[in-house]
Amino acid sequence: MDSGADNRVVFASSNEGKLRELRVLLRPLALEVIAQTELGIDPVEETGKTFVENAILKARHAWRSSGLPAIADDSGLCVDALDGRPGVFSARYAGAGASAGQMIDRLLAELSSTPDDQRTAAFHCAAVFTAGDDAQDLIAEARWPGSILRSRDGDGGFGYDPVFYDPASGKSAARMSTQEKNAVSHRGRAFLQLLDLLQARKSAP
């Protein structure tokens, strides 16, 4: 990688919501975050059994395809009443190519008879930075506990945000600003941990 590319990092996602949140979080490092789709990189098949495994797969695929340092995350919603589903299949819960609305519809249908006090859930996120085969991957994980609402509330955010209730704020994730969400969410806190790890690596002798 040439020195002129030192401030560039590839984000192994085409999700505009995730990209927007990540760019805000990485401002302190003055990194230019480029979506892998901008470089013509197709997504890698997510064959991992855990969030960490999938995040590593995505980060290393983006790095090998671009030659640039890469960041990836794998996130999902784990619902206690569904034995942890949809979990690592959160983005494909209603089938390949399904919309966020279709995934929410399936989730609500499966929880339709679940009492309010048994609708607990948590978002999980594993975030990974890789700069090549010879460099140790940086890995951070976080979770965001809450519960599943009976219907959509708000039109902000993305994914399952409209039906995820954050008890600390008394809001659905879809009603939170980007700043509010980054401060408490699984992805925001995982990426903040990753930011600390990146800053420590940059300052190491």
| Per-residue pLDDT tens over the stretch 69-93 | 999 999 999 999 999 999 999 988 9
pLDDT at position 4, please?
A: 43
Q: Which domain holds residue 39?
A: 3-203
Name the strand (E) or helix (H) holding 194: helix 186-203
CA 155 from chain centre, in angstroms, equals 18
Mean of pLDDT values over 16-37:
85
pLDDT in tens, 125-146: 999 999 986 678 999 999 999 9
Per-residue model confidence (pLDDT) at position 15: 83
Section 97-107 average pLDDT: 94
CATH number at residue 155: 3.90.950.10
pLDDT given at position 205: 66
* pLDDT value of residue 148: 99
Q: Does position 2 have pLDDT exceeding 70, yes or no? A: no
pLDDT-based confidence at residue 178 (cuts at 50, 70, 90): confident
**Contacts of 159 by beta carbon, 8 Å cutoff, 6+ apart:** 17, 77, 90, 91, 100, 103
pTM score: 0.87
Lookup result for tokens 């408490």: 184
pLDDT at residue 5 tops 70: no
pLDDT at 1 over 50: no
**pLDDT for the residue 116:** 96
CA distance 70 to 129: 6
Contacts with 79 (C-beta within 8 Å, 6 or more apart), sequence order: 85, 86, 107, 111, 119, 120, 121, 148
Residue 133 annotated among the catalytic residues of the structure: no
User: For the chain, what is the domain count?
Assistant: 1
- Given the residues 2, 42, 73, 74, select the one marked as catalytic: 74
pLDDT digits (tens, 9 = 90+) for 52-73: 999 999 999 999 999 999 999 9
Please report, rounded to a whole number, the percentage of residues in the chain having pLDDT higher than 70.
96
Give the mean model confidence (pLDDT) for residues 159-183. Answer: 94
Distance, CA of 75 to CA of 53 (rounded, Å)? 11
- Judged by average pLDDT, the poorest of 21-25, 160-164, 184-188 is 21-25
Average pLDDT of the chain? 91
pLDDT at 25: 80
